[in-house]
């Protein structure tokens, strides 16, 4: 008997299941149901259509060879019946059928299944202040949202983005590319909470502010004011009032679990549908995947909600394998994320320092600045990379990075390291490729692992930008030793009473100018010279010396 599979949801995860399953089971009956008009589109491409980088929105639901993925495509190429503009109203687990409604005709009908797949996705969180849906207030979740935003942009030169997560940052990027002045309001004290640790998030904000984006962190939006004609004119927070004729609300997403709950299927601790490693719900004939399910975090061991297209697509293959009778499992996630904001690349994988400590690890962070390729090669850029390791074992728990250079490939290497249980010391010996257009002879991953290893061995005592700033604000008594060249120190001077400038090349001959009874913190542009200075001082018997990690590249404050 032919297997009959019904898939609810046709954006990302559902089509992946259908395509893989058809390759495994040529004779299976596969029906996919989605309430939207457009199906199988790349939601992650929406910000790039908004920015103008993607010229035609049809590119987002076309194959790489230019065929639009519509119901006709699915039937002709996949032999999958796609019922779009159709909503599944309920699941009858005893009869093993779903009740569906055609949204255009109103017709209701039952669709029987042998196996049911829920790929119901997620929807934007709508905060109370946005529920009256003033004109000029938008979300960024569907192609129709982008079309509406583009229709409203003409004549508007300022916008406010509410939310500093991934969607908010990509929305800000898109609007800046549309030559708009953009303000970002974020409830938390930093952007990208859960993606970047505070010091890297601050460094990214510092760079974006230099390019004209304004940030209002730690501020709660209390209301959106209208102009009397139903159009937004102002965003009011607990700290200020911002003029705005265009507002994008990016307060996050929440899983669509109502259909599953109404069928008696359980939610997990992360608030999404609970599934086992085979992506089965509590009903062995009902599977779920993508943005509507929770996942197991491979480092923390906790259940997490990770609405990422990369996760959904990998789950789709695993789920299809199981439907076809193969025993396959989805072990879990690291939350690996890469993204671009203006000309800055950023990414993370695994746990940040505070996340790791909350999960029970004695976590240590190490930050470096490095060239992403040979410094003499045209286009070489500087990146900041941070490695999170377990104290003692050196096990890699997480990694993060930002910069105008190639951050993504380093994050991917480090995600592999975490997956396979590598230690920092192991990473120092990985045989990575080198050519001047791609990397340094010692890749930034090697430099990061070496710095971490040096810290573990007591050769490097680092201090973060946050730690140094706190000491400066407290008025602590220490020496801030600047080992840049005189020209560099004059070009970007540090205004602090504790400052002492001694270029690295002169340090050995001028040791008598430094007190041996005070803490000394060495600084330089990228951290390499300050580490060398630390080792010179340690070799000369200085007992309390630290180096600013990441150098001034990682310093997110004014130097005065």
Q: Is residue 53 part of a domain?
A: yes
Parent domain of 202: 128-251
How many whole angstroms separate alpha carbon 556 and alpha carbon 465? 8
Do residue 247 and residue 355 come from a single domain? no
Do residue 47 and residue 104 come from a single domain? yes
Do residue 302 and residue 358 come from a single domain? no
Query: Given 427, 456, 485, which residue is the final one in a domain?
Result: 456
> Which parts of the chain have pLDDT scores under 70?
1, 560
How many whole angstroms separate alpha carbon 469 and alpha carbon 202? 13
Per-residue confidence (pLDDT) for residue 132, from 0 to 100:
87
**Among all residues, which ones are annotated catalytic?**
44
How many whole angstroms separate alpha carbon 87 and alpha carbon 79? 21
Rounded to 10 degrees, what is the CA torsion of 73, 76, 80, 86?
50
Per-residue confidence (pLDDT) for residue 406, from 0 to 100:
97
Do residue 133 and residue 245 come from a single domain? yes
What's the distance, CA 106 to chain centroid? 40
Do residue 234 and residue 310 come from a single domain? no
Do residue 132 and residue 232 come from a single domain? yes
Q: Is residue 211 part of a domain?
A: yes
How many whole angstroms separate alpha carbon 4 and alpha carbon 28? 6
Query: Given 414, 432, 456, which residue is the final one in a domain?
Result: 456
**Quick one: which of 335, 347, 337, 346 has its CA closest to 299?**
335
State the CATH number of the domain containing residue 160: 3.50.50.60
Do residue 297 and residue 203 come from a single domain? no
Do residue 183 and residue 266 come from a single domain? no
Q: For residue 122, how many C-alpha atoms fall within 13 Å in the half-sphere facing its CB? A: 26
Which tokens in the block code for residue 107?
Answer: 């017709």
In 256-395, where do the E strands start and end? Answer: 286-288, 295-296, 303-304, 337-341, 344-350, 363-371, 382-390
Q: Is residue 315 part of a domain?
A: yes
Q: How many CB atoms lie within 10 A of CB 295?
A: 25
Q: Is residue 328 part of a domain?
A: no
DSSP symbols for 103-144:
TTT--EEEEE-SEEEE---EEE---GGGTT--BTEE--SSHH
Q: Is residue 303 part of a domain?
A: yes
Q: Is residue 335 part of a domain?
A: no
**Please, are residues 436 and 373 in contact by the beta-carbon 8 Å criterion?**
yes
Do residue 431 and residue 499 come from a single domain? no
Q: How many domains in the chain?
A: 4
Per-residue confidence (pLDDT) for residue 1, from 0 to 100:
61
**Please, are residues 372 and 405 in contact by the beta-carbon 8 Å criterion?**
yes
State the CATH number of the domain containing residue 504: 3.40.250.10
Query: Given 204, 230, 251, which residue is the final one in a domain?
Result: 251
Do residue 61 and residue 209 come from a single domain? no
Q: Is residue 334 part of a domain?
A: no
Could you tell me the pTM of the whole model? 0.95
What residues pair up with 293 in beta bridges, in sequence order? 273
How many whole angstroms separate alpha carbon 295 and alpha carbon 311? 9
Q: Is residue 330 part of a domain?
A: no
Do residue 151 and residue 265 come from a single domain? no
Per-residue confidence (pLDDT) for residue 560, from 0 to 100:
60
Do residue 382 and residue 447 come from a single domain? yes
**Quick one: which of 345, 121, 134, 123 has its CA closest to 248?**
134
């Amino acid at each position: 008997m032919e297997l009959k599979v019904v898939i609810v949801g046709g954006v990302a995860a559902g089509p992946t299941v259908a395509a893989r399953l058809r390759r495994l089971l040529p004779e299976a009956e596969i029906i996919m149901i989605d309430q939207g008009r457009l199906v199988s589109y790349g939601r992650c491409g929406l910000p790039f259509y908004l920015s103008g980088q993607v010229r035609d929105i049809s590119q987002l639901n076309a194959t790489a060879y230019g065929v639009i993925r519509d119901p006709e495509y699915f039937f002709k190429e996949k032999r999958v019946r796609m019922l779009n503009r159709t909503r599944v109203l309920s699941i009858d687990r005893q009869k093993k059928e779903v009740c569906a409604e055609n949204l255009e005709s109103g017709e209701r009908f039952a669709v029987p299944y042998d196996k049911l797949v829920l790929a119901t996705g997620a929807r934007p969180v709508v905060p109370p202040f946005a529920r009256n849906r003033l004109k000029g207030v938008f979300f960024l979740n569907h192609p129709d949202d982008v079309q509406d935003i583009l229709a409203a942009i003409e004549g508007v030169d300022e916008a406010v983005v509410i939310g500093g997560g991934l969607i908010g940052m990509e929305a800000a990027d898109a609007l800046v590319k549309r030559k708009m002045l953009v303000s970002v309001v974020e409830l938390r004290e930093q952007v990208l909470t859960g993606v970047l640790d505070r010091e890297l998030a601050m460094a990214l904000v510092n760079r974006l502010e230099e390019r004209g984006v304004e940030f209002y962190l730690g501020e709660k939006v209390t209301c959106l004011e209208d102009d009397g004609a139903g159009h937004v004119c102002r965003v009011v927070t607990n700290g200020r009032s911002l003029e705005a004729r265009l507002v994008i609300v990016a307060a996050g997403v929440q899983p669509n679990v109502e259909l599953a709950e109404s069928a008696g299927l359980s939610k997990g601790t992360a608030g999404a549908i609970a599934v086992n490693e085979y992506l089965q719900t509590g009903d062995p004939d009902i599977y779920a995947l993508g943005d509507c399910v929770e996942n197991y975090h491979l480092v923390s061991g906790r259940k997490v909600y990770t609405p990422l297209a990369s996760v959904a697509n990998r789950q789709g293959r695993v789920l299809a394998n199981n439907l076809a009778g193969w025993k396959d499992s989805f072990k879990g996630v690291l939350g690996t994320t890469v993204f671009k904001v203006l000309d800055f690349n950023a990414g993370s994988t695994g746990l940040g320092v505070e996340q790791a400590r909350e999960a029970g690890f004695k976590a240590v962070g190490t930050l470096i600045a490095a060239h992403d390729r040979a410094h003499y090669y045209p286009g070489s850029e500087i990146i900041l990379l941070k490695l999170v390791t377990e104290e003692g074992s050196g096990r890699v728990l997480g990694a993060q990075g930002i910069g105008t250079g190639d951050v993504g490939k380093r994050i991917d290497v480090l995600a592999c390291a975490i997956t396979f249980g590598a230690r920092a010391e192991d990473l120092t010996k990985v045989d990575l490729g080198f050519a001047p257009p791609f990397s340094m002879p010692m890749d930034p991953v090697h430099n990061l692992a070496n710095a971490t290893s040096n810290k573990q061995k007591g050769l490097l005592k680092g201090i973060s930008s946050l730690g140094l700033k706190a000491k400066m604000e407290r008025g602590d008594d220490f020496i801030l030793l600047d080992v840049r060249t005189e020209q560099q120190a004059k070009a970007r001077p540090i205004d602090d009473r504790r400052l002492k400038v001694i270029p690295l090349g002169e340090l050995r001959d001028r040791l008598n100018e430094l007190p041996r009874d005070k803490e000394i913190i060495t600084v330089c542009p990228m951290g390499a010279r300050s580490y060398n200075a630390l080792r010179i001082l340690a070799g000369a018997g200085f007992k309390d010396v630290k180096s600013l990690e990441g150098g001034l590249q990682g310093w997110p404050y004014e130097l005065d």
